[in-house]
Structure 1
Amino acid sequence: MYAILDIETTGGKYNEEGITEIAIYKYNGHEVVDQFISLINPEREIQPFVVNLTGINSNMLRNAPKFYEVAKRIVEITEDCILVAHNAQFDYRILCTEFRRLGFEYERKSLCTVELSKNLIPDQPSYSLGKLVRSLGIPVTDRHRASGDALATVKLFKLLLDKDSGKSIIQNSVRLNPKHQLEPKHIDIIANLPTVTGVYYIHNDKGDIIYIGKSKNIKKRINQHLIGTNTKSKKIQAKISTVTYEATGSELVALLKESEEIKRVKPLYNKALRRSIFTHALYHFKDEHDYINLKIDIANGKEKPITTFSNRQSGKSFITKAVEDYNLCQKLTGLYKTKTSCFNYEIKSCDGACIQKEPSELYNKKVNLLIEKNSYANKNMVIVDKGRVVDERSAILIENGVFRGIGFFNLNYQINNLDVLESIITPMQNNRDTQHIIQSYLRRNKRLKILHI
């Protein structure tokens, strides 16, 4: 018996996707004998590209059942069945992830119609479901919806069964998918960890720290390390003995602590973060007409940047939005290379700094507003964020534009001058990475409380 299925998901990070729709057709080799089709509320955001691809949006899923409400039905309809899917590894992984969130290990044998098609119908120009069934004359409706794709897979699988006249290729292609089970030692490690924001330290059996990380949910992140299949995860799984942690409450505090600790300890498996965590920066200069120009360039460590970015695309996105928010010129921000006016001037959304029509004094005021907003040079301020408990807050101190350290204070405690602050602050290193971490965090979290002192 076969359970032929298709799953639509929210998209997003590996092993963090949620199911938005599932279709399962129980097939006995001759006909469909049972079926289950349902939208599912994934309890998380759907990526925009997925909405465009499938047409499934959050409004459609608001009243749909959650996965735990349909889990029993999925177990029953797939009981004693071989799961069949086009790219079965993906669908099987998604199902296992959802069941694992419920504390249940789901295990079934599986068959992949991509793999079977390559063996039984060789030399096809493409083995994507849409192109393959079209080339084979198999009708398909509701493409990129679970029911339509699962039905197309049923018809494709029927054709593959017919082609496998010796009944050996399909039999030899059945896979028993390995469980991603935790070893008993790993289960004990997970059991003792909290679901809080903070920095964690993975130790080997000698007590040495082999990896440092930060997470908004330490238990969940360590679990990902211990069931991961990539090279780094496997190395950590082989060496891990204990995990210690420091709760921070604030993600910003966790990021700063992680960066400093990695540079201090230099753990074996943190090679990437020992280097600078940003590659590009925003610089400014005045041209021959006295206009302040902006440019995204490779961070060189010599010039002092306004702010920094993890990559060029991140910087370009920032500048594109800044042009709109501050009514800046595309040409003077490096977005539009021309010897004359920029494109926005032609559509009357630029005031003409590109052709010296807008006075430099007025234009430079707008640029300076952007610089002031995105740089904390020469500023005395405290960034107030979440604390480790409900009645606590964290404080990140910037003094004369230099990051000084972090501390925690009770909500009843007044922090209104540097003397009070310095008594609760634990000093930390100021470097290019800490500046990047703080500025990036401020860009992403517009509603943070900032005290100017």
Structure 2
Amino acid sequence: MYTIVDIETTGGKFNEEGITEIAIYKYDGHEVVDQFISLVNPEREIQPFVVNLTGINSNMLRNAPKFYEVAKRIVEITEGSILVAHNAKFDYRILRTEFSRLGFEYERETLCTVQLSKDLIPDLPSYSLGKLVRSLGIPVTDRHRASGDALATVKLFKLLIDKDTNKEIIINSIRKEPKLQLEPKLVDIMGKLPSITGVYYIHNSSGDIIYIGKSNNIKKRINQHFTGTDSKSKKIQLQVAEVTYESTGSELVALLKESEEIKRVKPKHNRSLRRSLFSSALYSFVDDNGYINLTVDKADGRKKAITTFSNRQSAKAFMFKVVEDYNLCQKLNGLYKTKTSCFNYDIKSCNGACVNQEAPEAYNKRVTELIKKYSYDNQDMVIIDKGRDIDERSAILIENGIFQGLGFFNLNYQINNIDILKTIITPMLNNRDNQHIIQSYLRRNKRLKIVTLDTQQENN
């Protein structure tokens, strides 16, 4: 649990500043679950430059509560959580100073989004909150007011968690919470999980990830782990101390994250996704008569495939469908073994490429259209899918046929501005498994939005 804090002060000498406004958003890693926003009477003068910067003056604060009147609420909302702020050293010092004046020792674990941003999004020209969120396409209102800056920090922190592919933020958070060192009841863990699409991480008492999975219903899937009687389920039940999760909204994003993170983290109870996800592939060649032939064969990394399949059965099913959709020849695509015409030609459903009656140029044009649709080779595009919230979308970036990574956006100009798009994208590997996941998903989901980066046009 995190509390994102922003404080406005009077300015002045070090450790003599007073709080004029405070905003606290309690954030569980996925959404804001509580908040506290208040002006505060600092009982001292506000520096003129601060008045000009924030718009907060002494008249506004005359009837505002004094710090001792809001101190209890601050303690309660930040209890048991990690305090997050942009330049956390400043906000934490101000809070400790105010509590010290009341004779109260205030201690919390802290995280600084300035340092996290420098680590996770290096080489930006500025890490000031205003310039940073602007470069990331994050909207901000009421700049230099506590609530506006705190909300912008919430959105920034959410993006930083997405970019933290090593899960250091989450793992360190678990280690810092003493209650998670005790073995919790499985029912308590279940009670905190949602029935959403995403990736889940099963941790032991040290915070280490021992299993990673993906599900369209995380709560239901974890319940299956906790009630399973097989050897792996029993080991997980004995070792689990906490389950964290990432909401993805999109099944495609969940599949890509699951595949890559299992390969990187290598959790001891994961086995299947350490191997390749596919066994068959679709290849093409030109025969002696000039016709493009399609053939399904074992996946071979040394040969360039059009698309890949989990097994030969799904590949064959795909071939029968596209032969019909594109009016192709069964014989030229290995679906009808014959030395003469194919069956479809006999029933007038084939134009005669099998007996050289259709010109290769006309036939190959349809095959080329098929290849272009089911292979994103040499293409520059963004696949748009569901997001984590109703007003958010996910973006999978492909440049020159190479999968670059993924991210989330909720503003049109973020997806139409390639510089901002590349900043919000979390880089991922362009391996054969990820290519297979994307191609398979595109085959199953015909109505996905595709934004082509060269023309900026949307296609269904």
Measured against the shorter chain, the TM-score band is 0.5 to 0.7
* Separation of aligned partners in 1, 2:256 and 2:380: 19
Give the corresponding residue for 1:391.
391
Aligned counterparts, 1:167-178, within 5 A: none
* Separation of aligned partners in 2, 1:275 and 1:311: 14
Structure 1 residue ranges, 4+ long, deviating more than 6 angstroms after superposition: none
Per-residue deviation at 1:249? 1.3
Aligned counterparts, 1:202-351, within 5 A: 202-351=202-351
String of CA shifts for 1:320-357, please: whole Å, max 9, x gaps.
00010000000111111111111111111111111111
- The structure-2 alpha-carbon separation of the partners of 1:228 and 1:380, relative to structure 1 and needing over 3 Å to count, comes to same
* Separation of aligned partners in 2, 1:229 and 1:347: 54
* Separation of aligned partners in 2, 1:329 and 1:206: 59
* Separation of aligned partners in 2, 1:298 and 1:240: 39
Q: Which moved more, 1:206-215 or 1:252-261?
A: 206-215
* Separation of aligned partners in 1, 2:234 and 2:445: 34
Per-residue deviation at 1:411? 3.8
**Secondary structure in 2 matching 1:338:** coil
* Separation of aligned partners in 2, 1:423 and 1:235: 40
Q: Answer yes or no: is the 8 Å Cα contact 2:384–2:450 preserved in 1.
A: yes
String of CA shifts for 1:199-238, please: whole Å, max 9, x gaps.
1111123322111001111111101111123332223222
Give the corresponding residue for 2:378.
378
Give the corresponding residue for 1:24.
none
* Separation of aligned partners in 2, 1:239 and 1:286: 56
Give the corresponding residue for 2:174.
none
Aligned counterparts, 1:22-421, within 5 A: 185-421=185-421
String of CA shifts for 1:299-329, please: whole Å, max 9, x gaps.
0111110000000000000000001000000
* Separation of aligned partners in 2, 1:399 and 1:324: 31
Gaps of 5+ in 1: 1-182
**Secondary structure in 1 matching 2:416:** coil
Q: Answer yes or no: is the 8 Å Cα contact 1:392–1:409 preserved in 2.
A: yes
* Separation of aligned partners in 2, 1:184 and 1:417: 46
* Separation of aligned partners in 2, 1:374 and 1:335: 19
* Separation of aligned partners in 2, 1:271 and 1:408: 29
Q: Which moved more, 1:279-288 or 1:227-236?
A: 227-236
**Secondary structure in 2 matching 1:207:** coil
**Secondary structure in 2 matching 1:210:** strand
- The structure-2 alpha-carbon separation of the partners of 1:412 and 1:375, relative to structure 1 and needing over 3 Å to count, comes to closer
**Which TM-score applies when normalising by structure 1?**
0.58
* Separation of aligned partners in 2, 1:240 and 1:221: 15
**Which TM-score applies when normalising by structure 2?**
0.57
* Separation of aligned partners in 2, 1:307 and 1:250: 21
Letter in 2 for 1:325: D
Per-residue deviation at 1:415? 1.8
* Separation of aligned partners in 2, 1:207 and 1:263: 18
RMSD: 1.4
* Separation of aligned partners in 1, 2:354 and 2:342: 6
Per-residue deviation at 1:184? 7.2
String of CA shifts for 1:105-150, please: whole Å, max 9, x gaps.
xxxxxxxxxxxxxxxxxxxxxxxxxxxxxxxxxxxxxxxxxxxxxx
Letter in 1 for 2:259: S
* Separation of aligned partners in 2, 1:291 and 1:363: 7
String of CA shifts for 1:163-213, please: whole Å, max 9, x gaps.
xxxxxxxxxxxxxxxxxxxx9711011011122211111112332211100
Q: Answer yes or no: is the 8 Å Cα contact 1:393–1:411 preserved in 2.
A: no
What percentage of aligned pairs have identical amino acids? Answer: 72
Give the paired residue count.
271
Letter in 2 for 1:424: I
* Separation of aligned partners in 2, 1:447 and 1:231: 40
Q: Answer yes or no: is the 8 Å Cα contact 1:203–1:209 preserved in 2.
A: yes
- The structure-2 alpha-carbon separation of the partners of 1:412 and 1:304, relative to structure 1 and needing over 3 Å to count, comes to closer
* Separation of aligned partners in 1, 2:415 and 2:206: 42
Gaps of 5+ in 2: 1-182, 454-460
String of CA shifts for 1:413-437, please: whole Å, max 9, x gaps.
4422422311211111111001000
Letter in 1 for 2:309: F
